[in-house]
Structure 1
Amino acid sequence: MPIRRAAAEELPLLQDIERAAGEPFRALGMPEIADDDPPSLDLLRTYQLAGRAWVFSGTRTGRPDGYLIWQQVDGGAHIDQVSVHPRAARRGVGRALIEHLQRESGAAALTLTTFAEVPWNAPYYARLGFRTLTGAELTDGLRRIVAEEASAGLDRWARVCMRRTASPAP
């Protein structure tokens, strides 16, 4: 799959992907999510400089169709955002980015936070092998992330933390 590190000049394109990927939330009665600003260029640049911003470019133009940004949290790889442009939806772009992270990070587990009832969020990640964590299973770092998301108003809708352990090598 055509996955590579994001280039500095592509960061505005990642914002465009985020905006486009947010539009389907309107149909679910979540216009606030659709209207939410994408990650700032400064924040994306921080991920990019750390080598933690990857893009999927499946077209001949080389233009990104999706991206993933991540950070280390409590010894694991935490997906801060994975977004796919609607023009590339349902083609395995998100899955490919997540699989790439699992391989490249070497982390024993991947974690993420997501909307519990949005079909392309928690149910999708469950199909990829993620399981919902109970409150007692949350690490300090995940609790911090949940608190930050709540302060941003994301707890208006049901949210969950999910985890997937690395598969043993074949």
Structure 2
Amino acid sequence: MKIAILTQPLHINYGGILQAFAVQKILKDMGHEVITLDIPWKDAESKISLYVRIKLFIATLLLFLLNRLKAQDIVWPYNTRKRNRKLINYSMRSFINRIINLSPVIDTERSLKRYIKEKNIDVCVVGSDQVWRPMYSPNINWYFLNFLSDDANIKRIALSASFGTSDW
């Protein structure tokens, strides 16, 4: 069977990269032809709520006041990740390309539908982890496999998929 895996973008999440490798390896070892769809990351900075930003600020301030941080360590936590994201992504990309069989970059629904059709995909697996969390997903509707037509004979599987929060 030809299997396409749709998971979170593989850029800076080490756990996500390892789970993508593990799922792909197990399915390959079972004799399937497997590819992980390379969906690009869209910057989630604008999606971070004011509530989360305030919590991050208060946590940083409390840690400083409790002398757990040195003065030079006081940074806005999200900005630290933003500054390092390019560097981490660059270093991880060669690792990802070596261990995971990736599709070409797919950034539109049209190209996603075309790729699935051209490759004669038999099964679409969505997962794992917080693939159904809008803040983390480049296009949340894709992670519910809405790009597959109702008459498509493609099997749909959710593998350890979650919302990752009690409030969606």
TM-score w.r.t. length of structure 2: 0.32
Identify the structure with the greater strand proportion. Answer: 1
Ranked by relative contact order (alpha carbons within 8 Å, sequence separation 6 or more), the top structure is 2
Answer with 1 or 2: which has the greater Rg. 2
